């Protein structure tokens, strides 16, 4: 009996994708705990697998494991570079790491990838607002928080951010 040949790189990638999809679906997660947008029906398998990696990373981020979360988000991005989920998650993590310019790069990429979709626009604007606020650019943060509220008038994060920025502007 001859030994089996090792699987090809393509076969290993396909197996990893399938495992990530099956594991993510089997875990009973229908939507992200943070309210992230689920992939559209017909989304390519790589992007679905990237989505599930992002969900894992979000749990790490929520648990205070920012560096691990960033590594997980980067794996998702390597798997599906055009994933708005991975780009948005990296943008959010970069704000937590106080890497505001990198956060802006990823948030802008989300806007390019998603076009005119309102929910993505306000989510990216919220990250941009936090990044500008962290950079000390109150005027641009104010503009972005207003943009979020134009898209989602009930957004408590944007309301609180706008109040902070307006308070800071009055102090200066």
The answer to the question of residue 109 being in a domain is no
Does residue 66 share a domain with residue 15?
yes
Does residue 124 share a domain with residue 91?
no
The answer to the question of residue 55 being in a domain is yes
Q: What is the pLDDT of residue 66?
A: 94
Does residue 127 share a domain with residue 92?
no
Does residue 128 share a domain with residue 96?
no
pLDDT in tens, 105-133: 999 999 999 988 999 999 999 999 999 99
Does residue 78 share a domain with residue 20?
yes
What domain range is 137 assigned to? 116-172
Pick from 78, 102, 126: which residue ends a domain?
A: 102
Largest distance between two CA atoms of the chain:
81
Contacts of 113-118 with C-beta under 8 Å, sequence gap 24+, read: 113/82, 113/83, 113/84, 113/87, 114/84, 118/151
Pick from 102, 132, 149: which residue ends a domain?
A: 102
pLDDT in tens, 129-165: 999 999 999 999 999 999 999 999 999 999 999 999 9
Domain count, the chain: 2
Does residue 122 share a domain with residue 78?
no
Does residue 137 share a domain with residue 95?
no
The answer to the question of residue 5 being in a domain is no
Does residue 79 share a domain with residue 18?
yes
pTM score, whole prediction = 0.75
Give the separation between CA 172 and CA 167, rounded to whole angstroms: 9
Report whether pLDDT(86) > 60: yes
Does residue 133 share a domain with residue 51?
no
Give the separation between CA 167 and CA 66, rounded to whole angstroms: 29
The answer to the question of residue 1 being in a domain is no
Pick from 76, 102, 128: which residue ends a domain?
A: 102
């Amino acid at each position: 009996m001859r030994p089996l040949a090792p699987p090809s790189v393509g076969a290993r990638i396909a197996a990893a994708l399938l495992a990530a999809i099956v594991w993510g679906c089997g875990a009973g997660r229908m939507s992200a705990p943070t309210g992230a947008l689920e992939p559209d029906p017909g989304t390519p398998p790589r992007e679905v697998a990237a989505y599930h990696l992002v969900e894992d990373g979000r749990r790490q981020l929520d648990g205070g494991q920012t560096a691990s979360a960033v590594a997980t988000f980067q794996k998702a991005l390597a798997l599906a570079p055009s994933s708005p989920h991975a780009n948005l998650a990296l943008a959010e993590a970069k704000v937590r790491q106080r890497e505001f310019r990198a956060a802006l790069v990823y948030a802008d990429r989300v806007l390019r990838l998603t076009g005119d979709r309102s929910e993505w626009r306000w989510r990216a604007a919220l990250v941009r607002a936090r990044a500008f606020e962290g950079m000390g650019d109150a005027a641009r943060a104010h503009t972005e928080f207003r943009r979020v509220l134009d898209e989602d008038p009930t957004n408590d994060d944007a309301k609180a951010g706008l109040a902070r920025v307006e308070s800071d502007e009055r102090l200066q």
